[in-house]
């Protein structure tokens, strides 16, 4: 009697995993090493600052979806006001016109298209926190327009600009307060309350701690969101920052649809031209 050949048992496949925490930690180490390498050969603050800004722009550009543009900007409004220069901004290029630019790739972005603005500094301390607050306030104080959007089923109402919060923060390599616990204590002391023109929603000292004030629903998706100041665990600064930034951007949705007629009005005022009816 011929013995039937045995069907070979399928090989047990080893579960493949991606070490997400380690990936963030390696990126964190890369940023710190990049900052340290340039610091070892020059103490020029402008050079150090430019290098840090480039690192942050590259990191955020790699991490965020392609719908977000990242880079240095000036924000402008329909009344001709302009913000301070912003080191790193997250802004829109899909729905916002980019009329103006310069040879060093600094964009002049309508404030309606700005999602988030960050000041880049070497150290997280009280002086630089105050500096970042002033930079963020210079954007939030600009006049923002809003227009209705037509779609196949009708018209979306013009969004109240107050519903589209401009995220503000600070990006640094080191904490000026030495320890993790000491940094948290000082941040509680020096950070302003959420809601003001200069309040900071998110900040990081790569070697020590991240802070954030991310809205959290009180009861599932209903009710007014609670906003509490929270901090990363030791060693998780970059992953905490990335997750909370993405969370805050998701909550904003799409940027405001700017009212082009208000921008056109500035041209009409300067030339005495008639605005199209």
Whether 119 is a known active-site residue: answer yes
Write down the catalytic residue from 121, 125, 207, 262. 121
DSSP per residue, 189-226: HHSPPTTSTT--SEEEETTTEEEE--EE-SBTTBSPPE
- Based on its alpha-carbon atoms, the radius of gyration of the chain, rounded to whole angstroms, reads 23
DSSP state of 115: E
The pLDDT assigned to 202 comes to 97
- Domain ranges across the chain: 20-263
Nearest one of 45, 71, 73 to 58, comparing CA atoms:
71
Output the pLDDT for position 38: 47
Q: Is there a catalytic annotation at residue 104?
A: no
Q: In sequence order, which residues have a C-beta less than 8 Å from that of residue 37 and are 6 or more positions away?
A: none
HSE (CB half, 13 Å, CA atoms) of 18? Answer: 3
Tokens 């965020």 locate to 64
Q: Angle at the Cα of 180 (from 135 to 186), degrees rounded to 5?
A: 50
Whether 197 is a known active-site residue: answer no
Per-residue burial over 212-241, b if 16 or more Cβ lie within 10 Å, else e, is bbbbeeeeeeeeeeebebebbeeebbbbbb
CA 190 to each of CA 79, 98, 166, 230, 246: distance values in angstroms, whole numbers, following the listed order: 33, 36, 21, 14, 25
Buried/exposed 147-185: b ≥16 CB within 10 Å, e otherwise: beeeeeeeeeeebebeebbbbbbbbbbbbbbeebeebbe
Catalytic residue, from 77, 112, 119, 125: name it: 119
CA dist., res. 133 & res. 192, Å (int): 9
For residue 43, what pLDDT is reported? 47
Per-residue model confidence as pLDDT tens for the chain (277 residues) = 566 666 666 666 667 788 888 888 887 787 767 656 545 444 445 544 456 888 899 889 988 999 999 999 999 999 999 999 999 999 998 777 777 766 567 789 999 999 999 999 999 999 999 999 999 999 999 999 988 877 676 677 888 888 899 999 999 999 999 899 999 999 999 998 888 899 999 999 999 999 999 887 665 555 667 788 999 999 889 889 999 999 999 999 989 888 888 888 877 776 665 544 4
Q: Which of 55, 77, 87, 125 is catalytic?
A: 87
pLDDT score at 3: 64
């Amino acid at each position: 009697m011929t013995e039937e050949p045995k069907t070979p048992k399928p090989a047990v496949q080893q579960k493949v995993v991606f070490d997400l925490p380690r990936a963030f930690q390696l990126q964190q180490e890369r940023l710190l090493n990049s900052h340290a390498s340039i610091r070892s050969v020059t103490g020029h603050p402008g050079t150090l600052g430019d290098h840090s800004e480039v690192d942050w722009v590259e990191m955020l550009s790699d991490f965020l979806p392609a719908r977000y543009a990242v880079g240095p900007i000036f924000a402008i409004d329909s009344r001709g006001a302009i913000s301070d220069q912003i080191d790193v901004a997250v802004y829109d290029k899909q729905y916002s016109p980019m009329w103006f630019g310069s040879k060093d790739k600094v964009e002049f972005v309508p404030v309606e298209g700005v999602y988030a603005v960050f000041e880049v500094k070497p150290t997280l301390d009280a002086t630089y926190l105050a500096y970042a607050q002033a930079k963020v306030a210079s954007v939030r104080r600009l006049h923002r327009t809003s227009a209705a959007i037509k779609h196949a089923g009708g018209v979306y109402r013009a969004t109240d600009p107050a519903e589209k919060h401009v995220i503000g923060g600070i990006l640094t390599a080191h904490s000026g307060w030495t320890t993790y616990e000491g940094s948290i204590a000082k941040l509680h002391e020096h950070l302003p309350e959420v809601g003001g023109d200069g309040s900071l929603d998110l900040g990081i000292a790569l070697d020590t701690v991240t802070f954030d004030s991310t809205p959290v629903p009180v009861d599932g998706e209903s009710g007014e969101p609670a906003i509490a100041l929270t901090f990363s665990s030791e060693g998780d600064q970059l992953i905490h920052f990335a997750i909370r930034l993405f969370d805050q951007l998701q909550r904003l949705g799409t940027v405001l649809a700017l009212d082009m007629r208000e921008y056109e009005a500035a041209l009409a005022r300067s030339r005495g031209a008639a605005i199209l009816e």
